[in-house]
Copies of this chain bind each other. A is one copy, B any other.
Amino acid sequence: MKLSGGVEWALHCCVVLTTATEPVPAARLAELHDVSGSYLAKQLQALSRAGLVTSVQGKAGGYVLTRAPELITILDVVAAVDGDQPAFVCTEIRQRGPLATPAEACTRPCPIARAMAGADAAWRAALRAVSIADLARDVDDDYGPTALAGIRDWLDGPNGGGTATA
Contacts and interface: CB of A to CB of B under 8 A. Distances in A.
A57 interface: no
A159 interface: yes
A68 interface: no
A114 to B, nearest CB: 8
Q: How large is the interface on A (under 10, 10 to 19, 20 to 34, 35 or more residues)?
A: 35 or more
A39 interface: no
Q: Which of A96, A130, A134, A159: most chain B Cβ within 10 A?
A: A130
Contacts of A31: 97-98
Interface of A: 1-5, 7-9, 11-12, 15, 31-35, 74, 78, 82-83, 85, 87-91, 93-94, 96-101, 105, 108, 110-112, 114-116, 118-120, 122-127, 130, 134-135, 138-139, 142-143, 147, 150-151, 154, 159
